[in-house]
């Protein structure tokens, strides 16, 4: 059996992994779905102080306080920035690093730099000039979309502009590396890291034929891929 730490993406929450978490647990695995401060279930803790470093600590502290080791650490979308930043602190506890349709930054990269432009402008309202609004996403099942889109929240802009720290490049670290690409959303910022993983012997590469909202669109298929890493 394996230990999984699953890190959600921007404007979302750990609830997005609820189906995957249940399936992995049913197979006997230990699963933690870290909730990032200021968004999703922890949106009540939002503020201009919330940045990438704080989200990194959200994940690092789950691993440290639960005393987890030999971890399969997954970053989904923006979560790729978070798990990358966490390596400086808990890299020795990671067995496999998984990027799920995610950013794969090098040292000094940010969402803004990898996207080639600043994130969408902050919310134009008094008291919240530091929030970037969430836009609704499309899901394979409209009912799932209606449920999930209600839970998407604005996100502090510092999480998009702060550079990640990665003193040791990914491919020089001893753990395994896996990239999972959502093929129904070609192009965009995930195409470059996906192509690199597909062509590099240092990576495992898989595809899932759905759009970017993989955990809620294809929970069973994602669970099967993750289970194979055990």
Say whether 69 sits in a helix, a strand or coil. Answer: coil
Indicate the domain borders of the chain: 3-228
- CATH number of this structure's domain 3-228: 3.40.50.1820
C-alpha–C-alpha distance, residues 194 and 199, integer Å? 9
pLDDT along the chain (230 residues), means of 10: 97 98 98 97 95 98 98 98 98 98 98 76 60 94 97 95 96 97 94 97 98 98 95
Angle between the 18-26 and 219-228 helix axes, to the nearest 10 degrees? 50
Taking the C-alpha atoms of 137, 152, 55 and 202 in order, what is their torsion angle to the nearest 10 degrees? -20
Residues near 158 by beta carbon (within 8 Å), at least 6 away in sequence: 48, 49, 50, 51, 52, 130
Tokens encoding 152:
């998407």
Residue 118, pLDDT score: 54
Residue 127, pLDDT score: 54
**77 included as an active-site residue:** yes
If residue 44 lies in a helix (H) or strand (E), which one and from where to where? none
Catalytic residue among 34, 77, 110, 148: 77
Residue 230, pLDDT score: 82
Residue 129, pLDDT score: 82
Residue 29, pLDDT score: 98
Residue 143, pLDDT score: 97
C-alpha–C-alpha distance, residues 71 and 51, integer Å? 24
Say whether 1 sits in a helix, a strand or coil. Answer: coil
DSSP letter assigned to residue 179: E
Residue 124, pLDDT score: 46
Locus of tokens 């192509």: 195
Query: If 0-12 CB within 10 Å is exposed, 13-18 middle and 19+ buried, where does residue 142 land?
Result: exposed
Residue 128, pLDDT score: 67
């Amino acid at each position: 059996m394996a230990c999984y730490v699953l890190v959600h993406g921007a404007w979302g929450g750990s609830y997005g992994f609820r189906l995957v978490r249940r399936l992995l647990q049913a197979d006997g695995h230990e699963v933690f779905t870290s909730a990032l401060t200021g968004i999703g279930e922890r949106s009540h803790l939002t503020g201009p102080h919330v940045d990438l470093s704080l989200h990194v600590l959200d994940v690092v502290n789950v691993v440290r306080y639960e005393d987890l080791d030999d971890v399969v650490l997954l970053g989904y979308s923006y979560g790729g920035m978070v798990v990358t930043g966490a390596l400086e602190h808990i890299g020795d506890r990671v067995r496999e690093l998984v990027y799920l349709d995610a950013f794969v930054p090098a040292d000094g990269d940010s969402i803004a730099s990898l996207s080639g432009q600043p994130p969408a402008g902050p919310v134009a309202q008094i008291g919240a000039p530091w929030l970037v609004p969430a836009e609704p996403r499309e899901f394979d099942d409209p009912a799932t979309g209606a449920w999930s889109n209600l839970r998407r929240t604005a996100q502090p802009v510092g999480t998009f502009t702060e550079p990640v720290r990665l003193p040791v490049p990914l491919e020089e670290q001893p753990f395994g590396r896996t990239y999972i690409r959502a093929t129904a959303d070609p192009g965009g910022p995930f195409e470059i890291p996906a192509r690199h993983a597909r062509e590099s012997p240092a990576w495992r590469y898989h595809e899932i034929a759905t759009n970017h909202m993989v955990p809620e669109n294809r929970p069973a298929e994602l669970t099967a891929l993750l289970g194979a890493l055990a």
